[in-house]
Structure 1
Amino acid sequence: MSADDVIRAHVAVLREGTARARSLAQTLLNVPYGQGDGEKLDVYIPNTASVDVSLVIYIHGGYWQFLSKEESGFLAIPMVKKGVVVVAVDYDIAPKGNMDLMVSQVRRSVVSVIKQYSHISGLYLCGHSAGAHLAAMVLSTDWSQYNVTPQINGAFLVSGIYDLLPILSTYINEPLKMTEEVAVRNSPSKLLSQLKLSSPNCHIVVAVAQNDSPEFWNQSQEYYKALRESGLNVTMEDVPDTDHFNIIEQMMDGDYHLTQIFFQMMGEKPRAFGASSFNKSTS
């Protein structure tokens, strides 16, 4: 297939998965986490009820310039069956949003989730491609300016970019318009000391597809090595027979290798709770 056909096929798979997730779970859609039009999230809730719950925040990819939460609910398909809540986050993609804004938005989305839903028993992040970059930036946050310190138990970073400098001279930067200064301050690989301060006990999984491009593969490997050398709890998964797109598409399958690893990260099957625990006024 041509590059455009590959993207269209990927979007179609994610949309179909999101539609299926919405048929399986209770949903709260378009919940605001800020004042901006793009600052919304969707919540996918299991159909059973309990006091506390594990929650996964999913941050979509799309080279920071396409996709949205409308294609990001697919991860809820296996998760709600295990009693896990999934939150799909929107942010202002380029050219409307710049890199500083996108990073700020995903950080504020996490703050909003933990402030509204204090009964979370385990908080986890998952991001794919550009979303893995943004999830890594969440791990590297100086939370003192937010007056809250999220206890992030685990992070699943799938086929991500962790150093933005190589992007500056490529077509990807045309709508982003990043300068070198912007790229440096938004590169997780440059923020390892802050990550150690903000997420010292977080279990990080760096996953990459066997058939990812050399840049994705090299960046994943280098970021994994840097995290390990910093003394952080990190593992790397080189997933065979996958490419940049189906490595995340297959996570809607509960028996898929990465999905199983995610379940293992979360430990014992968590309990779930009903939609009444969430603010319905904005759904």
Structure 2
Amino acid sequence: METRMPGPTLPERYSPAQCEANYNLRARHPNALELMAGWQRHAASARATLEHYADERFGESAHELIDVFPAARRDAPAVMFIHGGYWQAGDKHDVSFVAPLLVRSGICVAINNYALAPGASLDTMVAQTLNALHWLHRHAGRFGIDANRIYVMGHSAGGHLAAMMLTTHGAANGMAAPVRGAIALSGLFDLVPLVDTSINRALGLNEANAKRLSPARIARHSDAPIHMLVGEGETRGFHEQRTLLSSQWQGVHALPPVPRRHHYDILEIFREPGNAWLDSIVGIVRAATTPGSFL
């Protein structure tokens, strides 16, 4: 188990205005709502055409629901996908479109919800994500999942929650989360740059709890690898988030940035048969490739 504690991080040198420019993505992408409306249309189509178990309850909270899209074969690897939305927006139903090509590739897909800010703290979201993973592990046989091949994958804030599953916060009773690895798309691994931005109005982070909830600043509790992917058109802040985690953790594998893609349309790779980045993710989950073989 890795216990090396990270040192100072690059984003701290930026002014609040620079941090706002790096992380206020709605301002950078005025068509974000239009793009997300497209997600919802594609997601509804996926739910209409794929066999799945909807709104399975994995905890006591009304937010702790998960959809499961089984693969055709039993003993399949699985991905639990965590939606983004800066921990204050989004729903599992928005991203069902990630499932069809993964299921076609022999991978079971589960997509979980979690409570959102300002009604819930990030600590609650981490705990609920861990609950979902343990529930999926316990019920693996019901959905034809190989319990030893469960990956956690998330986009944006979901990438942060995926990475947290490998830290001391992503552990229950001293036991690491039951995952073979994590995959983060446009993930956030240091939350300190968000403290003085408009994004923090709903989150209520201060520097101390931002550090406590930043994967790059806390000890790992799992040796499972994490694979990272960003769009070429992401802000400097998101590119540096990826670089930062690589400098602080071992077992980090960065795929090349996706050309001509930014924070929102990077998810289009899940709708493109034969996309090289999607094929790499499939290979990682199915253990058909070794880390870095995409390069």
TM class by shorter chain equals 0.7 to 0.9
Unaligned runs of 5+ in 1: 270-283
Query: Counterparts of 2:128 and 2:185 in 1: how far apart (Å)?
Result: 20
**Counterparts of 2:194 and 2:229 in 1: how far apart (Å)?**
20
Cα 1:267/1:31, change in 2 over 3 Å: closer
CA distance in structure 2 between the aligned counterparts of 1:86 and 1:145, rounded to whole angstroms: 23
Please say if residues 133 and 188 of structure 1, whose CA atoms lie closer than 8 Å, have aligned partners that are also in contact: yes
1:22-171 alignment runs, 5 A limit: 22-46=47-71, 48-50=72-74, 52-118=75-141, 120-121=145-146, 122-141=149-168, 145-146=172-173, 149-171=176-198
Take 1:19 and 1:242, find their aligned partners in 2: how far apart are those partners? 23
Is the contact between residue 73 and residue 86 of structure 1 (CA under 8 Å) also seen in structure 2?
no
Identical pairs, percent: 27
2:194 maps to 1:205: no
Q: Deviations over 1:45-69 (max 9, x none)?
A: 23x343x111100000011111111
Match of 1:274 in 2: none
User: So what's the TM-score if we normalise by structure 1?
Assistant: 0.84
Counterpart residue type for residue 221 of structure 1: T
- Aligned residue for 1:276? none
Q: Supply the AA of the counterpart residue of 2:34.
A: A
Q: Does 1:256 align with 2:261?
A: no
Mean CA deviation greater in 246-255 or 64-73:
246-255
The one-letter code sitting in structure 2 at the alignment partner of 1:80 is V
When residues 267 and 138 of structure 1 are mapped into structure 2, their CA distance, relative to the original with a 3 A threshold, is same
Cα displacement (A) at 1:238: 1.6
Shift of residue 129 of structure 1?
A: 0.7
User: Which amino acid counterpart does residue 168 of structure 1 have in structure 2?
Assistant: V
* Residue 267 (structure 1) aligned with residue 286 (structure 2): yes
Moved more, 32-41 or 18-27: 18-27
CA distance in 2, matches of 1:35, 1:147: 22
CA separation of 1:171 and 1:143: change in aligned 2, threshold 3 A? closer
Q: Provide closer, same or farther for how the CA distance between residues 265 and 144 of structure 1 changes in structure 2, counting only shifts above 3 A.
A: closer
Structure 1 residues 45 and 120 mapped into 2: Cα distance closer, same or farther (>3 Å)? Answer: closer
Post-superposition CA distance 1:210-240 (Å, at most 9, x none): 110111111111112322xx3x252332221
- 1:125-169 per-residue CA deviation (whole Å, 9 max, x = no partner) reads 111111101110112145663475444223211111110111011
Partner of 2:264: 245
What does the per-residue CA deviation read over 1:160-191, in whole Å, with 9 as the maximum and x for residues that have no partner?
11101110110000011112222111100012
The answer as to whether partners of 2:79 and 2:285 remain within 8 angstroms in 1 is: no
Q: 1:143 to 1:8 in 2, by over 3 A?
A: closer
Cα separation, 1, equivalents of 2:100 and 2:138: 25
Does the CA contact (< 8 Å) of 1:209 and 1:243 recur in 2? yes
Counterpart position of 1:221: 243
Gaps of 5+ in 2: 1-25, 289-295
Helix, strand or coil for the counterpart of 2:110?
A: strand
- Does the CA contact (< 8 Å) of 2:130 and 2:170 recur in 1? no
Q: Distance in 2 between matches of 1:236 and 1:209?
A: 10
Alignment-mate amino acid for residue 38 of structure 2: V
CA distance in 2, matches of 1:212, 1:143: 27
Asked whether the equivalents of residues 203 and 265 of structure 1 are also in contact (C-alpha less than 8 Å), the reply is no
Distance 1:97 1:240, change over 3 A: same
Change (3 A) 1:185 1:69: same
Question: Are the structure 2 counterparts of residues 218 and 233 from structure 1 closer, same or farther at C-alpha, using a change threshold of 3 Å?
Answer: closer
User: C-alpha distance in 2, partners of 1:33/1:105?
Assistant: 9
Secondary structure (helix, strand or coil) at the match of 2:55 reads strand
Distance 2:137 2:173 in 1: 12
Number of equivalent positions: 259
Equivalent residue for 1:16, pick from 41, 47, 52: 41
- Post-superposition shift, 1:107? 1.2
TM-score by length of 2: 0.81
